[in-house]
Chain A
């Protein structure tokens, strides 16, 4: 098997031009970088959201022990704050602020 000499004819496949088109190279790199960026945004948004939930959970826990009406307040806080918690992460990543 090792002493098999490949017929010269078979070398013809090595002569096919395989050089990359600069446009294709740029496209591959840009797709990769935008995917990477998207993943970063999602990760940061998740981090902010989870931190927010943890904080709100803490606040809720403290408040509920004093006043049952705080249940309503808790939901209100969540709905008001969630977009606010997510927004900075997205804006920072998009270079808007």
Chain B
């Protein structure tokens, strides 16, 4: 079913349509939150919270863009809220890696740990901008709207993130 029709049905409270919308977008949101939080448990919690918030505010969604873009913006806001509320709790890399144990049986463990370590060294703002640009292919303008900051700031965040990543890879 087309996304637009699906959203109209969801706004009417159609249960099947709501389930389909969640099933279609769940991997996108969870995958995104895993990349920015680097914590499986936290990303699952935030994904559920994000969908609840999105469905409650579905009437505010204007279908001039993709639903996934809108929901990623909500995910960003939730992650920033989480960081603000948990300013004192700094997750160590070991804690962050905990949830990944089941996943790493399927993929190369050392390679995986190295990537998680490199990304975890980026501050959240730079990490978000980098992930949106290089994992999801959003333009600078789209990212600036999503994170609510000027395009120049987005560019400099991505530039800094790339420099950090390059230097870490060169070192390793």
Tell me the minimal C-beta distance from A43 to chain B in angstroms. 14
Tell me if B135 and A13 are in contact (CB < 8 A): yes
Q: A13-B135, A18-B34, A19-B27 are in contact. Are A28 and B48 (CB under 8 A)?
A: yes
Chain B residues with CB under 8 A of A4: 134, 162
Tell me if B55 and A20 are in contact (CB < 8 A): no
Among residues 26 to 80 in chain A, which have CB atoms less than 8 Å away from a CB atom of chain B? Answer: 26-29, 31-33, 35-36
Chain A residues with CB under 8 A of B35: 13
Tell me if A17 and B13 are in contact (CB < 8 A): no
CA distance A57 to B136 in the complex (A): 60
Tell me if A25 and B34 are in contact (CB < 8 A): no
CA distance A16 to B30 in the complex (A): 10
Tell me if B115 and A32 are in contact (CB < 8 A): no
Interface size of B in residues (CB-CB distance below 8 Å): 37
Tell me if A32 and B56 are in contact (CB < 8 A): yes
Tell me if A25 and B55 are in contact (CB < 8 A): no
Please tell me which one of the listed residues B18, B19, B28, B106 contacts residue A17 in the complex, with CB atoms under 8 A apart: B106
A10 within 8 A of B: yes
Closest chain A residue to B27 by CB distance? A18
Chain B residues with CB under 8 A of A27: 48
Interface positions of A (Cβ within 8 A of B): 1, 4, 6-7, 9-10, 12-20, 24-29, 31-33, 35-36
Q: A10-B115, A25-B19 are in contact. List 19 more A-B contacts (CB 8 A).
A: A9-B114, A9-B169, A10-B119, A12-B111, A12-B112, A13-B119, A14-B135, A15-B107, A16-B103, A18-B31, A18-B34, A25-B22, A27-B48, A28-B51, A29-B18, A29-B19, A32-B51, A33-B18, A35-B56
